[in-house]
Amino acid sequence: MKLEGRVAIVTGAAQGIGKAIAQKLHAEGAAIVSVDLQGEGADATAAELGGIGIQADISSEADAERIAQTTLDHHGKIDVLVNAAAIVPFVPWDEVDFAYWRKIISVNLDGAYLVSRAVEKPMREAGYGRIVLISSNAFYAGTPNMGPYLAAKGGVIGLTRALATELGKYGITANSVAPGITRSEGCLATPHKDSFDFVQMLQAIPRHGLPADIAPAVAFLASEESGWVTGQVLIADAGHIRD
Ligand SMILES: NC(=O)c1ccc[n+]([C@@H]2O[C@H](COP(=O)([O-])OP(=O)(O)OC[C@H]3O[C@@H](n4cnc5c(N)ncnc54)[C@H](O)[C@@H]3O)[C@@H](O)[C@H]2O)c1
């Protein structure tokens, strides 16, 4: 198993891609800290995987610090952070008011920064860490009705590169996984649910993407053996985007 003895924080672990990632990292041997705004969902994933659940808002500085501190209190270390929590919106361009723009940037970009910053110090002191930030292939595709989301996910890719540069000398890698459209609860609750058949025509592998399709790419980047890979974006989308 790739992650035996490792401690992994997964945000957005109540459902969808985050939950599938938590399940995969657990199957690879990691102790999982399941974080989500939905406390009951975080606890349900924790109950399933035998770890701890934390109700937290990643866009809150205090909550991000509490996620790291609670993990250290329970496990004494943080080996892996996977930030999957995000808002997946469907917002026509002329309906994006500034408050909603700020909300999406706050969760999807500021949140990625805050949780990365909160885990960086204990990882640096340990001389080891794996940070995996979930971005999106929509950034490359320029998907319609996702203006603030594309801006935030482009920022996540920039943040990934910055973290890789700043933290490499401490034994910490930072990479991003960019999923294609995936049948998560969040995606299926929006009009994006009607796009699967069209997008499938653009994919090399002609079927709908599932949360479990994304998790193995994350598990590789969360593992020790990925140590020579940093600052990269791994697009996991059945060959839709060829960057
Ligand atoms: N589903 C897709 O088609 C798709 C495609 C590309 C990228 N992604 C990315 O994958 C990740 C997971 O998305 P998903 O489709 O599984 O979405 P989802 O909506 O099903 O799950 C997202 C989870 O994040 C949690 N969350 C939202 N805001 C939070 C906050 N402020 N603090 C803590 N938790 C919060 C939600 O409660 C939810 O459990 C996201 O980063 C998303 O942008 C999804």
CATH number, domain with residue 50: 3.40.50.720
Does 242 have pLDDT greater than 80?
yes
Which residues, in sequence order, are bridge partners of residue 177? 134, 234
Helix 16-27 to helix 39-49 angle (10° resolution) is 20
- 107: its two tokens: 């969760």
List residues near ligand 1 (CB under 6 A).
11-12, 14-18, 36-38, 41, 56-59, 84-88, 107, 111, 134, 136, 179, 181-182, 184-187
Structural domain boundaries, residue 205: 7-235
In the chain, how many domains are there? 1
- 46: its two tokens: 């924790």
User: What residues are annotated to the active site?
Assistant: 149
Report the nearest-CA residue for atom 26 of ligand 1.
85
- 57: its two tokens: 């808002």
pLDDT tens track for 132-186: 999 999 999 999 999 999 999 999 999 999 999 999 999 999 999 999 999 999 9
Q: Is residue 240 part of a domain?
A: no
Average pLDDT over residues 2-28: 98
Q: Is residue 243 part of a domain?
A: no
What is the structure's pLDDT at 93? 86
CA gap 23, 212 in Å, rounded: 9
Q: Is residue 2 part of a domain?
A: no
Q: Is residue 193 part of a domain?
A: yes
Helix 111-126 to helix 147-167 angle (10° resolution) is 20
- 187: its two tokens: 């995606």
Q: Is residue 105 part of a domain?
A: yes
Query: What is the distance in A from the centroid of ligand 1 to the CA of 168?
Result: 27
Q: Is residue 67 part of a domain?
A: yes
Q: Is residue 241 part of a domain?
A: no
pLDDT tens track for 153-162: 999 999 999 9
Best substitution site from 17, 136, 194 to test ligand 1's pocket, by max atoms within 8 Å of Cβ? Answer: 17
Closest ligand 1 atom to 15 CA = 39
Q: Is residue 16 part of a domain?
A: yes
Q: Name the phi and psi angles at 229, rounded to 5.
A: -115, 115
